[in-house]
Amino acid sequence: MLAVAAGGGCAGALLYFCAVRCRSPGTCGQLLRQDGTVAQRPIRLFGDPVLRTRCDAVDEFDRALIGLVADLEETVSAPGRAGLAANQIGVSRRVFAYNVDGRVGHLVNPVIEAVGGEQEEDEGCLSLPGLWYPLRRAEHARVRGVDRLGQPVVVEGEGLLARCIQHEVDHLNGQLFVDRLSGSVRRQAMRDLRERYIS
Q: Which helix (H) or strand (E) holds 172?
A: helix 160-172
* 3-state secondary structure at position 43: coil
How far is CA 93 from each of CA 27, 54, 64, 105, 185, rounded to the nearest angstrom? 25, 9, 11, 17, 31
* Edge-first strand listing for the sheet containing 140-146: 83-85, 95-100, 103-116, 140-146, 152-158
Give the active site residue among 120, 121, 168, 195. 168
* 3-state secondary structure at position 76: coil
Using CA atoms, how far apart are residues 117 and 119, in angstroms rounded to an integer?
Answer: 7
Using CA atoms, how far apart are residues 108 and 148, in angstroms rounded to an integer?
Answer: 7
Active site (annotated) includes residue 121: no
Using CA atoms, how far apart are residues 173 and 15, in angstroms rounded to an integer?
Answer: 22
Active-site residue list? 168
